[in-house]
Structure formats: C-alpha cells, structure tokens
Amino acid sequence: MTVLTVLVFALIAVRLLVLVGQLVVPPKPMSPQPAPRMDPCLGPFGPPTPAASPEGELVRRLRCGEISRERYRRDMARLASADARTNPIQPPDR
C-alpha cells in the first residue's frame, strides 16, 4: 500500500512540475507560416474561360446568386431588344 501511495504522489508531483514549467517558461513566438502553394496539377487547366455569350454570363450570375430573378429577366429583356435591333428576323415569304 505504501509503495502505491508513493507512486501516486510521485506521478502527481511530476504532473504539477510540468504544469508549473509550462506557466513559467513563455511559449516561443510563432513565425508566420507561408501560404501553401497550389499544385498546378490540381488547379484548373489554363486561364479561366470567359462566358461564351452575355446570356451565358447572366445565367452564371443568376446561378451563383449574384443577381436576382427580376434583375436576370430585366437584363435578358434588354439583351433581346438590343439583339432585335441589330439582327432583325425576317419572316419567310409564302
């Protein structure tokens, strides 16, 4: 019983010494870590591709939540009216 008691007290004393040592010795200042480099094999291939058309850009912005449905409809109507002025559709002759 006495050996067990001495062992328990010894373990408690060692633990207390470690805790006090951590409080007394100031921690080393952390050096700023450089940002991890992106592996080019894991990134997108080549430069980002632009939208194929203004309509595609509007769809992308709508899906990403950058614009509302009302804004999407308004901008699409504006694009459609500009397209109708520059490229009018001729009905076929019968």
Q: Which residue has the higher pLDDT, 24 or 65?
A: 65
Residue 25 lies in a domain: no
Q: Which residue has the higher pLDDT, 75 or 17?
A: 75
Residue 8 lies in a domain: no
Per the structure, the count of domains in the chain is: 1
Residue 82 lies in a domain: yes
Q: Which domain holds residue 62?
A: 52-87
Average confidence (pLDDT) over 82-90: 89
Question: Per-residue pLDDT tens for 29-77?
Answer: 777 777 667 666 666 665 666 657 889 889 888 988 899 999 999 999 9
Residue 40 lies in a domain: no
Residue 64 lies in a domain: yes
pTM: 0.43
Residue 27 lies in a domain: no
Model pLDDT, residue 91: 81
- Surface-to-core class of residue 75, CB atoms within 10 Å of its CB (0-12 exposed, 13-18 middle, 19+ buried): middle
Taking 80 as the threshold, does the pLDDT of residue 3 lie above it? yes
Beta carbons within 8 Å of 1's beta carbon, 6+ residues apart = none
Residue 7 lies in a domain: no
Residue 77 lies in a domain: yes
